[in-house]
A = this chain, B = another copy of it.
Amino acid sequence: MTRTIVESKSKTAIIGFDQPFCVIGERINPTGRKKLAAELEAGDFSTVEKDALAQVAAGATMLDVNAGVVYNSNPNPNETEPPLMVEMIKLVQGLVDVPLCIDSSVPAALEAGLEVCEGRPLLNSVTGEEERLEFILPLVKKYNVPVVAISNDDTGISEDPDVRFAVAKKIVERAADFGIPAHDIVVDPLVMPVGAMGTAGLQVFALVRRLREELGVNTTCGASNISFGLPNRHGINNAFLPMAIGAGMTSAIMNPVALPVTQKAIAEKKAAVEAAGIMLPPEMDDETFVTVFGLGSMQSRPGKEMEAIRAANFLMNNDAHGAEWIRFNKPPAAAGEEGRGRGGRAGGRRRRA
């Protein structure tokens, strides 16, 4: 039975066929997040802290830490990423106790991260590219860590799943030459957007089965790629994850946190409420408004994908007696009480007036 052991200083996560699905929180990543990139350049790590706490609260098994930022003051990531990675890892491992995944395309940033990361982090990633194999695999061996292996090579990303399987096989074999066992390799078979390629889902399901049966490796993916460009992306993701889990996928790099309600949505609802002739008490704050009008929540909470994953864990018999499912779905007694309490307070104010 393949088991990939990942550890923080105090906590062990096991990626495995007989384990609950491993959710690797993807949020700590400035790629494509301009605001976060600017904050990091200015030495402001508040968003990193918030993202770390929210993802763990939502149920992330591990956190990915990516320092892929290009500073305005210095456009050379080989110089800026390694020290930023060190700072981010120190911060995150001081804040939460889950294991980390050190994620960079800059080899020096991976090495810098490995030096400061406590426990046994997951390294993200090696590919089938020759230069990358020759640099990363010795690092993996030296630090005795598991590694994500992405199924592309010097020819790029193939649309042919057989080629992607062959790349994964090459990486596993090359790793074996370095004395790295297959159970320390977590293959990402690469998920294409189903909107662009109708066979994208079937490819992943078939690849995951082959990778598991023929190479005996755990698997991961950037789960949300599947729904790229489509309406109602969550609807696609919520079906894709259980299907991938059913096919044997054992982890995903994804956002476990539901998007909080936007200021725009609040403003639109307020306009609709006013137009419907509803009078709000002047003291009503946004949080109460959002709750009463069923807009969701201003607090972070687990995304629907986490519900789908927990249900899939149960259905794969990796949630004994459904204990986690039942705990996850317990009605929030506090929220109910709070609702009544809030009403009570409002009534109190009216009585005093």
Query: B-contacting residues of A (Cβ < 8 Å)?
Result: 194-195, 198-202, 205, 226, 230-232, 235-236, 238-240, 242-243, 245-247, 271-273, 275-281, 283-284, 288, 292-295, 307-308, 310-312, 314-317, 319-322, 325-326, 329-330, 339-340, 342-344, 346-347, 349-350
Known: A281-B276, A325-B230. A235 touches B307 (CB 8 A): yes
Cβ distance A201 to chain B, nearest Cβ, rounded Å: 3
In the bound complex, do residue B294 and residue A236 qualify as a contact, i.e. CB atoms below 8 Å apart? no
14 inter-chain pairs at a CB distance below 8 angstroms, sorted by A residue, are: A195-B322, A198-B321, A201-B314, A205-B246, A231-B330, A232-B329, A242-B242, A243-B245, A243-B246, A246-B247, A275-B344, A276-B284, A277-B350, A293-B293
CB-contact partner of A292 in B272, B284, B312, B344, under 8 A = B272
Known: A201-B317, A231-B326. A239 touches B308 (CB 8 A): yes
Q: How many copies does the complex hold?
A: 2
Of chain B, the residue at the smallest CB distance from A344 is B275
Kindly state the separation between the CA atoms of A317 and B194 in the bound complex, as whole angstroms.
Answer: 8
Kindly state the separation between the CA atoms of A239 and B343 in the bound complex, as whole angstroms.
Answer: 36
CB-contact partner of A346 in B195, B198, B275, under 8 A = B275
In the bound complex, do residue B275 and residue A194 qualify as a contact, i.e. CB atoms below 8 Å apart? no
Known: A279-B279, A315-B236. A292 touches B292 (CB 8 A): no
In the bound complex, do residue B276 and residue A315 qualify as a contact, i.e. CB atoms below 8 Å apart? no
Cβ distance A200 to chain B, nearest Cβ, rounded Å: 8
In the bound complex, do residue B276 and residue A288 qualify as a contact, i.e. CB atoms below 8 Å apart? yes
Kindly state the separation between the CA atoms of A58 and B320 in the bound complex, as whole angstroms.
Answer: 35
